[in-house]
Amino acid sequence: MRITPAAALVLAAEYDRARIRKMSDYFARVHNLKQMHPDVFRLTLIDVDKWEPSVVRTLQQLGFFALLDIDYPQLDPAPAPDHILSFRSGTKVDPEEAGKLTEELKDLLLSLRMPDSDATVHLQGRLIDAIQNVRDHAYPQGEPLRFPHVGRWWMTASVDKEENRLDVVVYDQGITIPGSIPMSPRRNDIAGYLKNFLNLEDDFTKPIYDGKNIKAAIEIGQSKTQQSHRGRGLMFMRELVNFCRRGELRILSRNGGYLYSSDGTELDWIHDTSIGGTLVEWKLYL
């Protein structure tokens, strides 16, 4: 049993949200700083010693236990294909933070004697645009989300030496791509695309069409509209897969999923439950 870096990032983001909200609720209620005790901010885990060791290793590498300030004993460095970088998080577009991640990736590729490519230069721009998308769309003012949010993005990356592959993940807990479409200036363009190209006559904002909405949002970003200078980020992010030997972009948003492969294959699907935000994941084979 294992946990993927993407799933571990989503789990870490949930705990990070809970930790931040707990801190801010406490600060709102307590005005005397002398009454603060660090333990009041702590979140706890149950029976960690019974968790699957491979899951614990992944979470350790990701920085999950450090996030919770849990001093968990390091497990033996058993052979594991994944080398996972500590996650980063923020609210602004932080190019230096993204740069630290890509530089760590480059150093890791070098240390593992993996092919050196220009992939990290192309990746850096896409990470910036993924965070820009979060800033522009994920947390619109005045729009209630299902759960209180903390306005953040989270990212991580991993290297699989056996497969010569980089995985990079960006996640937010925002309104989602399908959730943002009803208030988007491109709403009519997306409706037209779904009707004309996918023969969709039904209410396209229903969650059962979330996968198709993600695809439409990418395609419409390339079209000429009054807002042509905006909205190209998703297509730009998709193009990253063409700079490697082969690659995949997967986007999960609300109940929808979308996969694009460098051989041109596209898939879209839906899940029974929402991922609670938007997850963008690149798998890049060097």
Partner 1 sequence: MNEIIYNVAQDFSAYPGGRFRRDGANSGQELRANLVELLNRARREDARLRVILDGTAGYGASFLEEAFGGLVRCENFTTNDLSRILSIEANASVFQPYKTLAERYIEEAQPLVAA
What does 7-45 look like in DSSP terms, one character per residue? HHHHHHHHHHHHHHHHHHHHHHH---GGG--GGGG----
Residue 151 CA: distances (Å) to CA of 47, 131, 139, 249: 31, 11, 6, 24
**φ and ψ at residue 166, rounded to 5 degrees:** -105, 135
**Is the separation of the CB atoms in 11 and 60 below 8 Å?**
no
Q: How far is the CB of 129 from partner 1 (least distance, A)?
A: 4
Q: How far is the CB of 130 from partner 1 (least distance, A)?
A: 9
**Is the separation of the CB atoms in 282 and 160 below 8 Å?**
no
Q: Name the site residues for partner 1 (rule: CB under 8 A).
A: 92-96, 98-99, 102-103, 118, 120-126, 128-129, 131-132, 135-136, 228-229, 232-233, 236
Nearer to partner 1 by Cβ, of 64 and 153: the residue is 153
Nearer to partner 1 by Cβ, of 4 and 239: the residue is 239
What count of Cα atoms within 13 Å lies in the side-chain half-sphere of residue 14?
8
User: Comparing C-alpha atoms, which of 81, 107, 93, 112 is closest to residue 5?
Assistant: 81
Q: How far is the CB of 44 from partner 1 (least distance, A)?
A: 34
Q: How far is the CB of 266 from partner 1 (least distance, A)?
A: 20
Q: How far is the CB of 99 from partner 1 (least distance, A)?
A: 4
Nearer to partner 1 by Cβ, of 76 and 96: the residue is 96
Nearer to partner 1 by Cβ, of 35 and 228: the residue is 228
Nearer to partner 1 by Cβ, of 50 and 224: the residue is 224
User: Comparing C-alpha atoms, which of 82, 57, 251, 104 is closest to residue 163?
Assistant: 82
Q: How far is the CB of 192 from partner 1 (least distance, A)?
A: 21
